[in-house]
Structure formats: C-alpha cells, structure tokens
C-alpha cells in the first residue's frame, strides 16, 4: 500500500524539510479521506462494462475539495502530496489560468470545425466538457481564480457538464469561493456557478500561522557575482531550502499545442540555466507561463551581453519584465551586476537594459521579496505550478 498523505506529510516533518503545522495536517487528513473515496469510485468505474454513462450514474462521485488560504501557507505542497498519492484514475493537474486557455482554444477549434461542417450543434461548451471528462476523472487546479468575463460566463455550463460526467475537482485558491470574480462585470450571471461549487465541493481554509515560503527565502542572497563554483554552490543550497532534499524533478508546462520543458521544479519553484531560457526561441507566452506557474525562479549563469548576443538580450529583457510584473522571486548567478550585463553600444537594448537593471535591483529588495506572487491587478498569487512532471 502507498503511504497516506498524512504519512507523507509527517515524513517531511521528520526529515526537517517542513515544520509541523496543525492547519496543514488537517487539510492533509481531508485529502486522505477524499483519496479513499476516490479509490472506491475508481473500482466502481472499473467494474462497469457498460461505459461511463452507467458507471458514473451507478455510484455518486465524491465531493471535491476547495482549499483556500493566504500565500505561502503550503497549498501547493499539499496538492503535490495529494496528486502523487491519488488513486490511478485518469488525472490532470494544471494551473487554472492555463486550463481556461485550453478550454477557449478547444471552443475555437470546435467553431472552426462547425464552419466546415465537421461537427453538428450550436453549443460548443458541452462537447468540450465531454472531451475534458474523457481525458481525466480527477482535475486538480492550482490557483483557482476568475477575473476574466469570458471565463466567468462559461464556467457554469462547463462545470455543470463536468460534474454531470462524474469528474471530481480539487482546487487551491487564495480567496474563498464567494470572492471569486468579485466586483466583476455582470457578476449576477456568475453567482449560480458558486452554488454549483458549494454543492459539488467541500470548502476548507488553510489557516497556517505564517508564510512558510518567506521563511525559506529569509536571509538568502539572491544575486551572485561572478557565476563561478561558489555561486553555483550558493544557488544549490538555496534551491535545496526551497525544493527540499529531493531537489525537485523535470517537468513541463502545457501551452497551447506544445509543452515547455522545465529542468527542475518543486513546490511552486523552478530552476533553469540561462541557455534554457534565453538561447532558445522562447517568447512572451512562454515567459508568462513560467511567471504564472512559479512563485520562485532560479537562473544559473547569466552572461554579459552585447550586439553579438542581441537575440538573447532581448529574450532576457522580456523574461525579467514578465517575472517583475508577476512578482516572481528571482535568484541568479551572473557574470556581472545588473547595470553591467549589457556591454553593447547605444540602441534599443541599451535603453531597455537600463529598465531591466533597475527592475533587477528592485527585485533584490526586501519590499519586493515580501510581495505576494501574481499581477497586482489579478486575484492570482502564490502557489501555482501548472505543470506535469516528466
């Protein structure tokens, strides 16, 4: 038998990787209970020879769990433990923003097929929900939040169908359900969705005593010059504090139609080499996925740049702008201080690098490090991973 989530949680406490917290332990127990119910549900689905329609009507799916709490309280860690231990039903874990991007892309694709006579009907949400339900019985969402009216207007229909198909949902969020899409346009049309969540998901607040993430980063030097063995050792030590002694694992972020490889990821943090971020053809969408998916990013080996590495310089500028806008914590080993990274002549890069250097200096400050993850105009912040382990 696999160890329970509570056993895994206690194991991390015993190893000294985390501190014991009663609120976290309570959520771990709730997730364990859901895991047991999922195991029974899985057997019921597996035993039916008549397909999903009869199987899922024969046994009611368990209610999911909506866990909310302030940033850095351990929501991602607990979701990690649950997803790893969840029974072998088809399952998917994804940042909620990325999930909704996927939904809109599927709706667009359905409408294109409708134009060419490849599908019938007038309503794309139901067939899209059916396709999602075929792919996963368990959906785990990091950072469940709603700020976009296009999302808000389809969530009721989408989730009604998902729940009717027997899909079980587990989600983390920084706000309770009643604050989703708060002050949003036409919110009255969104309110029935909240009733659906209350019916199909239990709600639990993770009221931990402190921001454990900031405790792990407290006193950690974030900019190391030069990028030598000493800097690599310092970043490795910082990474172990954040990711735990296992050191994380390779992962990927799902973008529309492709995947972005992440060399190492753990507990809402990611580690890259400069070449993996800026010497390959990545663009704004890739950097946004990283910024929304991880609260902390470590980058090894940032070099000085000039006209010969203009493309790399432009990608680095875009990367830093995106991380800054999303309040991502950044730890770096570099060949020089921020204001000396660009050694080229005057031009666009010189102007843009001046802004980049200013932002990098601000990102080293205690005030910046204390900011919650996520854009200030968004309800998103904190514990996202939005990834699949590879």
Q: Do 192 and 251 belong to one domain?
A: no
Q: Do 200 and 249 belong to one domain?
A: no
Mean pLDDT of 31-40: 91
- Is 271's pLDDT higher than 90? yes
* pLDDT digit string, tens, across residues 79-88: 888 998 887 7
Mean pLDDT of 63-86: 87
At 217, the pLDDT band (50, 70, 90 cuts) reads low
Answer yes or no: is 108 within a domain: yes
The strand ranges marked E within the chain are 64-68, 91-95, 138-142, 168-173, 201-205, 223-224, 249-255, 258-266, 269-273, 296-302, 329-334, 387-389
Spatial neighbors of 374 by CB under 8 A, at least 6 apart, are: 143, 292, 326, 327, 380, 381, 382
Q: Do 331 and 198 belong to one domain?
A: no
Q: Using CB atoms within 10 A of its CB, is residue 341 exposed (0-12), middle (13-18) or buried (19+)?
A: buried
| Residue of 334 and 381 predicted with greater confidence | 334
CATH code, domain with 263: 3.40.50
Mean pLDDT of 149-177: 92
Q: Do 146 and 239 belong to one domain?
A: no
Q: Do 187 and 56 belong to one domain?
A: yes
How much is the pLDDT for 88? 72
At 347, the pLDDT band (50, 70, 90 cuts) reads confident
d(CA 64, CA 199): 10
Mean pLDDT of the chain: 85
DSSP per-residue codes, 290-304: HHHH-SEEEEEEEPP
d(CA 231, CA 243): 18
Q: Do 26 and 124 belong to one domain?
A: yes
CATH code, domain with 148: 3.40.50.300
Q: Do 160 and 286 belong to one domain?
A: no
Answer yes or no: is 343 within a domain: yes
Lowest mean pLDDT among 7-21, 113-127, 277-291: 7-21
Domain count, the chain: 2
What domain range includes position 296?
Answer: 212-369
Q: Do 238 and 151 belong to one domain?
A: no
Answer yes or no: is 375 within a domain: no
Output the pTM of the full model.
Answer: 0.63
Answer yes or no: is 386 within a domain: no
Question: Do residues 223 and 364 lie in contact, with contact meaning Cβ atoms separated by under 8 Å?
Answer: yes
Q: Do 29 and 125 belong to one domain?
A: yes
Tokens for 184, please give them: 């949003």
Q: Do 204 and 216 belong to one domain?
A: no
- Is 214's pLDDT higher than 60? no
d(CA 166, CA 297): 37
How much is the pLDDT for 215? 54
């Amino acid at each position: 038998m696999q160890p329970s989530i509570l056993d895994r949680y206690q194991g991390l406490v015993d190893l000294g990787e985390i501190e014991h917290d009663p609120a976290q332990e309570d959520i771990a127990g709730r997730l364990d209970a859901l895991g047991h119910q999922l195991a029974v549900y899985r057997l019921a689905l597996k035993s039916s020879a008549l397909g999903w329609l009869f199987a899922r009507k024969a046994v009611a799916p368990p209610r999911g769990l909506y866990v909310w709490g302030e940033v850095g309280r351990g929501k991602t860690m607990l979701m990690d433990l649950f997803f790893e231990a969840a029974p072998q039903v088809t399952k998917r874990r994804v940042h909620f923003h990325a999930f909704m991007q996927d939904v809109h892309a599927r709706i667009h694709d359905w409408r294109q097929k409708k134009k060419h006579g490849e599908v019938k009907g007038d309503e794309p949400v139901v067939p899209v929900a059916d396709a999602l339900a075929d792919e996963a019985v368990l959906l785990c969402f990091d950072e469940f939040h709603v700020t976009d009216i296009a999302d808000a207007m389809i969530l009721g229909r989408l989730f009604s169908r998902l729940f009717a198909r027997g899909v079980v949902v587990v989600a983390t969020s920084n706000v309770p359900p009643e604050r989703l899409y708060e002050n949003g346009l036409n919110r009255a049309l969104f309110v029935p969705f909240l009733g659906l969540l209350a019916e199909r998901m239990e709600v639990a607040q993770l009221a931990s005593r402190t921001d454990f993430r900031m405790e792990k980063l407290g006193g950690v030097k974030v900019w190391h010059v030069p990028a030598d063995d000493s800097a690599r050792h310092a970043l490795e030590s910082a990474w172990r504090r954040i990711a735990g002694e296992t050191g994380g694992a390779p992962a990927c972020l799902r973008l529309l139609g492709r995947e972005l490889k992440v060399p190492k990821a753990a507990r809402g943090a990611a580690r890259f080499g400069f070449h993996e971020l800026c010497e390959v053809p990545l663009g704004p969408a890739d950097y946004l996925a990283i910024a929304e998916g991880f609260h902390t990013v470590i980058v090894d080996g940032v070099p000085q740049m000039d006209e010969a590495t203009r493309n790399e310089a432009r990608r680095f500028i875009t990367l830093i702008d995106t991380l800054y806008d999303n309040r991502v914590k950044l730890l770096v080993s570099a060949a020089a201080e921020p204001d000396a990274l660009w050694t080229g002549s005057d031009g666009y890069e010189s102007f843009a690098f001046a802004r980049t250097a200013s932002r990098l200096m601000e990102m080293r400050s205690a005030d910046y490090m204390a900011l919650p993850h996520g854009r200030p105009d968004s309800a998103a912040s904190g514990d996202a991973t939005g990834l699949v382990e590879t």
